[in-house]
Amino acid sequence: MAAYRPPHIPASDITPRSIYMSRRSFLGTAAAGLALTGAGSAFAAPLQARPGPYTLDEKLTPKEAVTSYNNFYEFGTDKSDPSNNAGDFKPTPWTVKVDGLVGKPKEFGLEELLKMPIEDRTYRMRCVEGWSMVIPWIGFPLAALLDQVEPQGSAKYVSFETVVRPEEMPGQKGLFQPLPWPYVEGLRLDEARHPLTILAVGLYGETLPNQNGAPIRLVVPWKYGFKSIKSIVRISLVEKQPETTWKNSNAREYGFYSNVNPAVDHPRWSQATEQRIGEGGFFKTARRPTLPFNGYADDVAGLYAGLDLKANY
């Protein structure tokens, strides 16, 4: 894999954290509501969010890098394809069906989802390819949504499904597809209900850009980035371990659990270190040690007590 070369960003465009946080406070106060627009690369509106319980005293990845260097195969396989090809995607109107082993299956409209307890959450995000970012998400705990549908005692896992719109998502068109569609993902129910697991609806104080998974995506910060299904249309509670796109495509390289584990190398490269995007200068390849569970071991390691994390990767 070629080394990442972030886009040139003038120093004047990189907002110091103190100013950025002040701006977010202003947006949270000034935004009387959420104005949804379906045009362009995002619905591009400020989001009102309360301070969340999880933040980091680490430098944020520049917004331009977060929104221009993405894995979203529905728009293409190159890192720049999502930002280049997502302009025609329409994230509104939108619904998410929540069904399966639940007492009260329901289809939620986007407006209803945006009334959930939306919070600011700053998370480290680590890609299996060896790069990482620090992203200020806006979202709500997945558990809050699951509580509304009353999971049954037989539910052990949560499966997720993304939208299929080849007329708007050019990566889904053509004879030779990189992945089968729809993209599907899964978590154990206890992973899904963990307080760190959120459904994100925004980043950097605004609603999600199309290329970052508009209008709603999964964020599980202790797992590799391929466990971050985007543009979700269905969430189902099930008894058996669900299918996942990358495990089905290449089980040797992409396991169901996908917890960040620097002691388990990807078959084609080491996971011991990572490149923090935007760190050490835009065209340098400064690397840092990869942290177990992406630095969230104190919060989540107990979920895997007794589980062989080398066999279950």
97, HSE (Cβ side, Cα atoms, 13 Å): 8
Rounded CA separation 237/146 (Å): 9
| C-alpha triplet 247, 139, 312: angle, nearest 5° | 25
Look at residues 66, 136, 140 and name the one whose alpha carbon lies nearest to residue 110: 140
In terms of C-beta distances under 8 Å and separation of at least 24 residues, what long-range contacts does 253-258 make, across chains too?
A: 254/128, 254/226, 255/312, 255/313, 256/186, 256/312, 257/223, 257/304, 257/307, 257/309, 257/312, 257/313, 258/128, 258/223, 258/224, 258/226, 258/227, 258/313
Number of C-beta neighbours around residue 99 at 10 A: 15
3-state secondary structure of 289: strand
The amino acid at 309: L
Q: Please count the residues of the chain.
A: 313
Mean pLDDT by 10 residues, the chain (313 residues): 36 36 35 35 72 93 96 97 97 98 98 96 97 97 98 98 98 93 98 98 96 98 97 98 97 96 94 90 73 98 96 91
Dihedral angle computed from the Cα positions of residues 112, 115, 116 and 119, in that order, rounded to the nearest 10 degrees: 140
User: Tokens 């989540």 label which residue?
Assistant: 300
Give the CA radius of gyration of the chain: 19
Query: Domain boundaries in the chain?
Result: 11-304
Q: Which CATH class is domain 11-304?
A: alpha beta
| Confidence at residue 42, expressed as pLDDT on a 0 to 100 scale | 47
What pLDDT, on a 0 to 100 scale, did the predictor assign at position 187? Answer: 98
Q: 292 is written with which tokens?
A: 């177990």
Strand-pair category, 50-51 with 95-100: unpaired
Place of tokens 């293409």: 76
Measure the CA angle with vertex 239, ends 304 and 177; round to 5°: 85
Q: In angstroms, rounded to a whole number, what is the distance separating the alpha carbons of residues 74 and 125?
A: 20
Query: Are residues 197 and 222 in contact, defined by beta-carbon separation less than 8 angstroms?
Result: no
Rounded distance between C-alpha atoms, residue 34 and residue 32, angstroms: 7
- Phi and psi, residue 179, nearest 5°: -145, 160
